[in-house]
């Protein structure tokens, strides 16, 4: 059975392990070598210190004894010599204690403890020499005999200790030299092993991997399905190339399906676009015909209305009061119908994006009164009452017909949605440099989400049951448009009544700079003569 070659991950792990092992071995070797060198150097230096201290002790004792024998020492000099000898013995005690503490094991520690016996013997010989010289009391022969006896006892012991420490010093220095040679050989071996390991990794791993990646890069330029050179094998890289080829095949299939779907989508878009363009053309024709229809109807209706208003003006001059009253009713209804025709024409023009304002000083109280008169029949049929707190002196610079139509639209909405028995209240006041008009009812009102949508164009609050109530669906949207075109604002609020019911609208319009002559009125008819008393 053919064995599979080791995987790429395993080879990378082996290579990284080999490099890490070399690095750890080199670091451990350096640390161990430094520690051993430090230990051997410390032992050699300590041995040299002990040798120097023993030599100093021998010299100081001999100097001290010779001065005592010759009798040339004075009191102060003798004290200094005694202190020097005692300090040398103390130094040797310290050096021996340090040597015992540096012992590598218990047996060596016991052996080095035995050296303290030799130091005690030397101290005993010195004490004996000191007593003998004191007993000799200036006798040269006795003093020399004591000095010779001390030399025969102490000098061999000191020489033996010096020779032992010298051997330890030389052994430590020799071990240091041998260690240096071993470390050098190991360093040379490591220096040779590191590049050899890197060369092996390059030959066995990096170079084959580079060839395979280069082949994969060449194949990736065209995303070819053919396996690139060196992309075979069962290791991780070979599996990666295999998955890439599978992904390329899936991408080709998806791209083919996407191209087919794109062609179908383009055909559908072209077909729908043609239908939409045709529908837009039809809508443009219908809109043009609708505007022409409104213009024609307005012209056809205004012509007989002008005649009727003229005849009514003549009838108002009749001396019979009953006839004048009849002609007055005819004139009033004709004026209302004339305003409704003008309203329809203005709405038609506004739907085409135009809002033509004929600005003039306008009394809001009179505009509200005319709007209430226009909506009175509708309010009466709906069973909705109207209470006016007529605002006086609220003169704004605006289009009287548009403002009247806005207020009439609000009254019509109240007639449709407030419900039978509801009451619409009108109030107004000055607020800074603006006129504030509030129109509220005590009907069911609107929830917040519907109130926010009520100012959108073509939105209606239709009942859940029963037939739709009709209308243009532009009342509040048109009211906002007209009010903002006058430099004002309108907002709705609900509830507007103390019982938590009702809907209210708040109009804020800038006041005119000067008060106009109110006798003319905002709308007195289609260029007719003034009414005569």
pLDDT at 529: 36
Average pLDDT by consecutive 10-residue portion of the chain (533 residues)? 60 79 84 85 86 83 76 62 79 83 81 80 82 76 79 83 86 87 86 82 76 67 54 61 79 89 91 89 80 70 73 79 81 75 65 70 90 88 86 85 88 88 91 90 83 67 42 64 89 80 90 58 41 28
pLDDT at 468: 43
Distance CA 200, CA 196 (A): 6
In degrees to the nearest 10, what's the CA dihedral of 426, 430, 436, 440?
A: -30
**SS3 for 437?**
strand
**379 is written with which tokens?**
């309010």
128 close to 150: Cβ distance less than 8 angstroms? yes
pLDDT at 520: 41
pLDDT at 533: 25
CB atoms < 10 A from the CB of 358, how many? 9
Residue 305 half-sphere exposure, CB side, CA atoms within 13 Å?
A: 21
Task: Kindly report the pTM of this predicted structure.
Answer: 0.40
Distance CA 444, CA 424 (A): 12
For 40, 52, 158, 268, the CA distances from 173, given in Å and listed in that order, are 7, 17, 22, 99
pLDDT at 524: 42
pLDDT at 465: 39
**SS3 for 506?**
strand
**275 is written with which tokens?**
């239908």
Distance CA 243, CA 411 (A): 74
List, in sequence order, every residue forming a beta bridge with 440; answer none if it has no partner.
425, 504
For 56, 118, 123, 193, the CA distances from 126, given in Å and listed in that order, are 14, 12, 5, 62
pLDDT at 350: 60
Distance CA 508, CA 498 (A): 23
pLDDT at 313: 78
Distance CA 187, CA 59 (A): 47
């Amino acid at each position: 059975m053919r064995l599979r070659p080791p995987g790429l991950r395993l080879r990378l792990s082996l290579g990284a392990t080999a490099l890490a092992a070399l690095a750890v071995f080199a670091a451990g070797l350096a640390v161990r070598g430094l520690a051993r060198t430090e230990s051997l150097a410390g032992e050699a230096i300590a041995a040299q210190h002990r040798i120097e201290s023993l030599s100093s002790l021998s010299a100081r004792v001999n100097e001290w004894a010779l001065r005592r024998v010759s009798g040339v020492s004075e009191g102060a000099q003798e004290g200094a010599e005694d202190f020097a000898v005692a300090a040398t013995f103390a130094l040797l005690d310290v050096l021996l204690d340090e040597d015992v503490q540096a012992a590598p094991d218990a047996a060596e520690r016991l052996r080095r403890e035995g050296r303290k016996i030799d130091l005690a013997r030397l101290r005993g010989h010195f004490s004996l020499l000191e007593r003998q010289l004191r007993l000799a009391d200036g006798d040269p022969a006795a003093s020399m005999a004591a000095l010779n006896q001390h030399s025969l006892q102490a000098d061999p012991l000191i020489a033996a200790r010096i020779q032992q420490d010298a051997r330890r010093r030389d052994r430590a220095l020799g071990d240091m030299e041998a260690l240096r040679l071993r470390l050098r050989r190991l360093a040379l071996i490591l220096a040779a092993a590191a590049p050899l390991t890197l060369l092996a990794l390059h030959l066995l791993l990096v170079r084959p991997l580079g060839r395979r990646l280069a082949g994969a890069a060449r194949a990736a330029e065209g995303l070819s399905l053919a396996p690139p050179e060196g992309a075979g094998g069962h290791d991780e890289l070979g599996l990666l190339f295999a998955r890439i080829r599978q992904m390329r095949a899936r991408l080709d299939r998806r791209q083919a399906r996407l191209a087919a779907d794109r062609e179908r989508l383009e055909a559908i878009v072209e077909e729908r676009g043609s239908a939409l363009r045709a529908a837009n053309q039809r809508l443009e024709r219908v809109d043009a015909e609708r505007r022409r229809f409104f213009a024609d109807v307005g012209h056809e209706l205004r012509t007989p209305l002008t005649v009727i208003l003229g005849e009514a003006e003549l009838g108002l001059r009749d001396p019979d009061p009953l006839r004048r009253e009849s002609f007055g009713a005819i004139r009033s209804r004709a004026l209302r119908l004339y305003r409704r025709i003008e309203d329809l024409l203005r709405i038609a023009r506004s739907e085409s994006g135009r809002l033509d304002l004929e600005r003039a000083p306008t009394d809001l109280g009179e505009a509200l009164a005319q709007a209430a008169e226009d909506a009175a029949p509708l309010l009466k049929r709906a069973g909705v009452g109207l209470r006016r707190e007529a605002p006086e002196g609220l003169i704004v610079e605006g289009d009287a017909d548009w403002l009247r139509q806005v207020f009439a639209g609000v009254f019509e909405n109240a007639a449709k949605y407030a419900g039978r028995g509801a009451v619409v209240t009108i109030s107004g006041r000055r607020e800074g440099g603006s006129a504030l008009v509030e129109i509220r009812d005590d009907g069911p009102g609107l929830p917040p989400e519907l109130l926010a949508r009520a100012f959108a164009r073509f939105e209606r609050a239709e009942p859940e049951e029963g037939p739709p109530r009709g209308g243009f669906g532009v009342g509040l949207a048109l009211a906002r448009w007209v009010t903002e075109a006058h430099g004002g604002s309108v907002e709705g609020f609900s509830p507007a009544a103390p019982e938590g019911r009702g809907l209210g609208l708040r109009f804020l319009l800038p006041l005119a700079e000067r008060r106009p002559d109110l006798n003319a009125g905002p709308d007195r008819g289609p260029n007719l003569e003034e009414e005569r008393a």
